[in-house]
């Protein structure tokens, strides 16, 4: 039996294939525009790009953290997840600055989460079009005002920077909101808030020393 055709002469199967192609092209263009916007934000911050280490589409993970304490002897015992995940299972070349930090949720009793940051690391929630590196959805991030692509951690040889990605509810460092195009140098003991979700930072290695241990908070 001859298949029905559209006014353009295409069969339903051809129309479906065309629609799929168009949707794919739209998704590609949306991703390009999003990345261009983020690059614009980062250029305004004045920090050299590490786009060579940019976030990839590997599965993300959720953070589980806990009450802040002064002494953190367990820092050496936790597992540190490599982010972005494309570097998992690979040795860290000397040219890639690697910062090792632990995040502890303020106000909740949850285990520490360790991050071995080797490139631009996006913090946010589930985004089917562009997965984030640190997914706060398992902690009900949307209820705390966390945006899908909320903030970015950028490692360099001498500093670990935090940049807000024009989130709806803002990013705060020690209670002070980051302005548009501004950055914060993350320090040991800082509190970082994404919307109304707050974490305390503990650093165990900086970008200049592979294996160097930073001073613990007294």
Q: What is the CATH number of the domain that holds 189?
A: 2.60.200.20
pLDDT at 180: 79
Q: Is residue 118 part of a domain?
A: yes
Q: What is the mean pLDDT of the chain?
A: 76
Q: Is residue 145 part of a domain?
A: yes
pLDDT at 187 over 50: yes
Please tell me the distance from the alpha carbon of residue 209 to that of residue 175, in angstroms, as a whole number: 29
Q: Is residue 35 part of a domain?
A: no
Cβ within 8 Å of residue 129, ≥6 positions away: 27, 30, 31
Instruction: Tell me how many domains the chain contains.
Output: 1
Q: Is residue 30 part of a domain?
A: no
Peptide bond into 78 cis (omega under 30): no
Query: Which residue segment(s) compose the domain that 163 sits in?
Result: 51-205
Q: Is residue 39 part of a domain?
A: no
Which residue, chain included where needed, has tokens 């910062």?
99
User: 60-112 pLDDT, tens per residue?
Assistant: 444 433 334 444 556 766 889 999 988 887 776 667 788 999 999 998 877 78
Q: Is residue 93 part of a domain?
A: yes
User: 107-137 pLDDT, tens per residue?
Assistant: 887 778 899 999 999 999 988 888 899 999 9
Please tell me the distance from the alpha carbon of residue 216 to that of residue 70, in angstroms, as a whole number: 9
Cβ atoms of residues 96 and 116 within 8 Å: no
Q: Is residue 136 part of a domain?
A: yes
Report, as an integer, the average pLDDT of 135-144: 92
pLDDT at 55 over 50: no
Q: Is residue 216 part of a domain?
A: no
């Amino acid at each position: 039996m001859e298949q029905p055709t559209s006014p353009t002469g295409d069969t339903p199967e051809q129309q479906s294939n065309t629609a799929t192609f168009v949707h794919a092209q739209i998704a590609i263009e949306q991703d390009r525009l999003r990345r261009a916007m983020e690059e614009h934000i980062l250029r305004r911050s004045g920090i050299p790009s590490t786009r060579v280490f940019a976030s990839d589409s590997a599965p993300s993970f959720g953070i589980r953290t806990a009450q802040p304490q002064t002494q953190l002897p367990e820092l050496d015992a936790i597992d540190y997840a490599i982010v972005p995940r494309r570097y998992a299972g690979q040795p860290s070349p000397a040219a890639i600055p690697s910062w090792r930090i632990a995040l502890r949720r303020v106000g909740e009793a949850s285990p520490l989460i360790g991050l071995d940051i080797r490139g631009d690391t996006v913090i946010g929630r589930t985004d089917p079009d562009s997965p984030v590196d640190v997914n706060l959805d398992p902690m009900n991030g949307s209820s705390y005002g966390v945006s899908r692509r909320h903030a970015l951690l950028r490692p360099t040889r001498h500093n670990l920077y935090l940049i807000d990605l024009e989130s709806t509810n803002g990013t705060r460092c020690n209670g002070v909101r980051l302005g548009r195009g501004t950055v914060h140098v993350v320090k040991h003991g800082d509190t970082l808030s994404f919307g109304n979700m707050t974490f305390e930072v503990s650093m165990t290695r900086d970008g200049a020393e592979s294996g160097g241990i930073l001073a613990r908070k007294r």
